[in-house]
Chain A
Amino acid sequence: MEEQQITVELPRFGSCSYTPSEVIEFPWGLPGFATLRHWLPLNLDSHPTFVWLQSLDDPEVALPAVDPWMVFENYDPKLPAYAFTSLEIREAGDFATLCVVVVTPNAAEMTVNLMAPVLINLRTRKARQIMLDGSTYSAREPLPRKSGAEASASSKSA
Chain B
Amino acid sequence: MLVLSRKINQSIMIGDDVRIVIVAVDRDQVKLGIEAPRAVPVHRSEVYEEIRRANQEALGAAPATSGKAEKATLRPRK
Q: Tell me, yes or no, whether A binds B.
A: yes
A residues adjacent to B (C-beta < 8 A): 10, 12-14, 16, 18, 22, 30-33, 40-47, 51-52, 54, 61-64, 67, 69, 80-82, 85-86, 92-98, 100-105, 107, 113, 115-116, 120, 122, 129-131, 133, 139-140
Interface residue B3 (Cβ < 8 Å from any Cβ of A): no
Would A45 and B47 count as touching, CB distance under 8 A? no
B residues adjacent to A (C-beta < 8 A): 37-44, 47-48, 50-59, 61-63, 65-78
Given A115-B50, A122-B76, decide whether A100 and B69 contact each other with a Cβ distance below 8 A. Answer: no
Would B63 and A103 count as touching, CB distance under 8 A? yes
18 contacts between A and B (CB under 8 A): A32-B56, A40-B71, A41-B71, A42-B71, A43-B70, A43-B71, A43-B72, A45-B70, A52-B65, A63-B62, A69-B78, A86-B41, A100-B54, A102-B57, A103-B58, A105-B61, A115-B51, A122-B76
Across chains A and B, which 8 residue pairs bring their CB atoms closest together, nearest first?
Answer: A96-B74, A31-B52, A13-B69, A32-B55, A41-B72, A32-B52, A85-B39, A42-B69
Q: How many A-B residue pairs have CB under 8 A?
A: 133
Closest partner residue, chain B, to A83 (CB atom) = B41
Minimum CB–CB distance for A90 against chain B, Å? 12
A54 to B71, CA, bound (A): 10
Given A67-B77, A115-B51, A131-B43, 7 extra CB contacts under 8 A: A33-B56, A46-B66, A69-B77, A92-B77, A96-B75, A115-B50, A133-B43
A41 to B56, CA, bound (A): 18
